[in-house]
Amino acid sequence: MGCLKGLKTAVVGLLMGAVVVSTGVQAFEAAPAGGLPTIPVTELIRQGAITYRLIHQGGPFAHEKDGVVFVNRERLLPLKTRGYYHEYTVATPGARDRGARRIVCGGQLRTPDTCYYTDDHYASFRKIVP
């Protein structure tokens, strides 16, 4: 009976947006209804905040590929026409390459409609909210 109760608790926890781990329950940021999880711009890592500010200033950017079209192959971002999204590198101290962190913005280059942060090379995104 106790095992069944534990299983029920684990299932309920997973359904409510928690991950059951051996040390207990670890909550993660749930996605708002119909959207991606969010991150306030004030909570971005320092390098992300710098990149976000540079995007709105039009640069200058450290990497040649900053500002190139992001195709959204993973289809994790809202579907838009090709050319809507552009990607920018978020510096990773100590990395020998561009690293895995990016900001992807949609809309006009200096005045994007929306921006998203990923720290795992497009495996997941959080919408940046002002």
* Residue 87 is a catalytic residue: yes
Per DSSP, 53 falls in state: H
Positive/negative CA dihedral, 91, 93, 94, 99: negative
List the one residue out of 53, 57, 84, 56 whose CA is nearest residue 69.
Answer: 84
Extract the runs of DSSP E, i.e. beta strands, from 18-129.
Answer: 18-21, 24-27, 38-40, 68-70, 85-89, 102-107, 112-118, 126-129
* Catalytic residue ranges: 87, 121
